[in-house]
Structure 1
Amino acid sequence: MSKKFNPKMLKSLRYLYGWTYEYLSKKTGISTIKLSNFEFGKDKPTLEDIAKLAWNTDVTTEFFYQKDLPQPFDESAMIFCKIH
């Protein structure tokens, strides 16, 4: 069984840090269009893309393959963090 990239994980991580596509693009070298397509499930990142994302966001590559958000990444908590 192959692993499947979970777009929600990238979106959640980006929201948690308050990063724009432009900021994450500069950080990773991945275009803003590709990042948006990854988040909306329109495109699948390569292993190289996932490695760049993991390295530059301080998570493991496995983070992007999780089916559910871990507790610290609860969406309601992210909204709270972003507002406050």
Structure 2
Amino acid sequence: MTLTDILPTLRASLRAHLDGGVWPASARWGEHGELLIDGVPVTALAEAYGTPVHVLSESQVRSRCRRGGRGGGPDGDAGTPGELR
């Protein structure tokens, strides 16, 4: 049992969990409740590029490239964008 089970009204004030199967490891909630990817607010990305927008985590792409041929693809390539998590 969790505190939100005891006090269901508390759940609304908590930030949503960022599922690692959906969001890159660099996704975080900022101080003021904004969603950040690699430290960049997603609202800034939406303002600059519109929505919908496809976002990759630069830090994770670079990490994958450094690993070289040990990528997630069947031939040792970098894999698909969904595998960059």
TM-score by length of 1: 0.24
Larger helix fraction of residues:
1
Larger Rg: 2
Name the one with the larger strand percent.
2
